[in-house]
Structure 1
Amino acid sequence: MTRLLLWRHGNTDWNAVDRVQGQTDTALNDLGREQALAAAPLLAAMRPDAIVASDLQRARDTADTLAALTGLPVGADPRLRERHYGLFQGLTSPEIAERYPAEYARWRSGDQSPGCEVESLDDMGKRMAEALQAAADVNPGGTVVIATHGGAARQGMGHLLGWPTSILHTVGPLQNCHWTELRLEAGRGWRLRAHNVGVNPATTIPAGI
């Protein structure tokens, strides 16, 4: 059985003000670093065999907190980046709605390709699924922690599971430094075992669905 833990990065200043990051290379803030430090021991207790991260700083720095506990190196894969949000990157939702009202409406309605140079959900899902499958293939029967991004994790999960976008839209988003667990089971393929698992730095009680 191969296990993938899709771990969203910690909080950033852009997360805090709902500014679209996409593939902009932002850093963790103090809260994000605290979240990563709180989550890392829980993931370390699951005895990962490998750690792979998006090459964006916020994901890599999140992964480094786990590497410090496990002694594992962190591999980098640019396919694990967040969705490229084109002209939306760097803007808040109200700013996008004001500047690009038609494209904003399509984006919020779940349109796969809303325009404004935003990467399609299908393209993102395919590259994410390729990266996830590659990590699994290199570590058959092992546990791999994938430090990535919220939207990318959900879409990659969906492609591995064969879920249509209509179903994925019903899955709640990953909170910062929470993770999704997927297992590759013999004769059954990829299975979702847990979603949005993590810990609030203010408590030691794990939570998730």
Structure 2
Amino acid sequence: MSNTFPPAEGAWRNHYLLMRHGHSLANQEGRIISAQPLGLTGFGLSPRGRAQLDTLLADWRWARPQRILHSDFLRTTETAERVAAHFGLTRTLEPRLRERHFGELEGQSDTRYAEVWALDAQDPTLCQGGVEAVAEVAARMREVIDELERRHRGETILLVSHGDPLQILLTALEGRALSLHREREPLAPASITSLKASLKA
């Protein structure tokens, strides 16, 4: 999947690959794992997730990344480790790419995501039940790209994050209302969305 929707000044300086982590043990168990310490130290990749990454890396169809930043959760760290090892790269922890915090729903069934998304559609600034507001997620995710745009030019940069934060980021980059983030097709585990650079190095 490839998208353009560059920033306000009219062009991306870099080429971004936005990657959702591989299938995780949280996915396997159908649980919401969005906070410390469980997210940092547990619920890493499932056997299915490791197989997904093996397949992805064996048939890599995107530009070779030159830089990898990733959420500090275990499932994203393990995903980034595999990609970094494949390309012989180092990786950088970036906590702002972390999973959206789901507050009081932590550890509960992932069927309860739907309750949060229904509230998101009403008000993207809502923080009910300790859930991180969509607007806050969009701000921290966009901050990462804005910093990379200031510091680098002409690079292919892989950002490894989570489903909800990436969908929120993509909605923000498209200039659409954040309340519509769940109207995007859900990002599959181990999927990559490409944001093409519009300027040459």
TM-score of Structure 1 vs Structure 2, range by shorter chain: 0.7 to 0.9
CA distance, structure 2, for counterparts of residue 5 and residue 168 of structure 1: 19
Paired residue type of 2:99: E
Q: Is the 8 A contact 2:67 2:158 kept in 1?
A: yes
Partner of 1:162: 175
Are 2:19 and 2:190, in contact at CA under 8 Å, matched by a contact in 1? yes
Match of 2:17, as an amino acid?
L
Summarize the Cα distance change of 1:117–1:133 in structure 2 as closer, same or farther, 3 Å threshold.
same
Question: Residue type of the partner of 2:108?
Answer: L
1:120 corresponds to 2:133? yes
Q: Which residue of 105, 113, 118 corresponds with 1:108? A: 118
RMSD over aligned Cα atoms: 2.2
* Structure 2 SS opposite 1:185: coil
CA gap 1:2/1:15 in 2 versus in 1, 3 angstroms: same
Aligned in 2, Cα 1:155/1:14: closer, same or farther, shift over 3 Å? same
For the residue of structure 2 that corresponds to 1:52, the secondary structure is: strand
The aligned residue for residue 82 of structure 1 is 99
Which protein, 1 or 2, shows the higher relative CO under an 8 Å CA cutoff with sep ≥ 6? 2
1:147 offset after TM fit, Å?
Answer: 0.9
Change (3 A) 1:50 1:106: closer
Q: Which runs of 5+ in 2 are unaligned?
A: 1-12
Q: Could you tell me the TM-score, scaled by structure 2's length?
A: 0.79
Q: Residue by residue, what CA displacement relative to the aligned partner does 1:144-175 show, whole Å, maximum 9, x if unpaired?
A: 11111111111122223322124433211110
CA drift at 1:44: 7.6
Partner in structure 2 of residue 146 of structure 1: 159
Aligned residues: 179
Give the direction of change, closer, same or farther, for the CA distance of 1:171–1:160 in structure 2 (3 Å limit).
Answer: same
1:204 is aligned to none
Alpha-carbon distance, 1:21 to partner: 1.8
